[in-house]
A = this chain, B = another copy of it.
Amino acid sequence: MATTRRVRARRGEGVLLREEILRAAGELLAETGTEDALTVRVVAVRAGVTTPSVYLHFAGKEELVEAVCLRAWDELGRIFAESRGGDPFLALGRCGRAYARFALDHPAQYRVLMMRPSAGPGVPAAASAAFGHMVAAVAACVRAGVLQGDPETLALGLWSAVHGCVSLLIAQPSFPWPEDREALIAHIVHMAGFGAALQSRLPRALPPSARLAAELDDFGVRLTAAGEQSGQTGQCGQPGQTDSV
Contact = CB atoms under 8 A, between A and B. Distances in A.
A15 interface: no
B163 A168 contact: yes
Interface string A196-231: 111101000000010010001011111111111000
Given A128-B175, A226-B145, A192 B195 contact: yes
A131 B187 CA distance: 17
Interface of A: 34, 82-83, 86-94, 96-98, 111, 114-118, 120-124, 127-128, 131, 143-146, 153, 156-157, 159-165, 167-168, 170-176, 178, 182, 184, 186-199, 201, 209, 212, 216, 218-228, 235-245
A35 to B, nearest CB: 10
Nearest to A156: B184
A238 B93 contact: yes
A191 B199 contact: yes
Contact of A93 (B89, B196, B241): B241
Given A89-B236, A193-B240, 15 more contacts: A90-B241, A90-B243, A93-B237, A97-B240, A115-B116, A128-B175, A156-B178, A186-B241, A186-B242, A191-B196, A192-B239, A194-B240, A195-B199, A219-B220, A219-B221
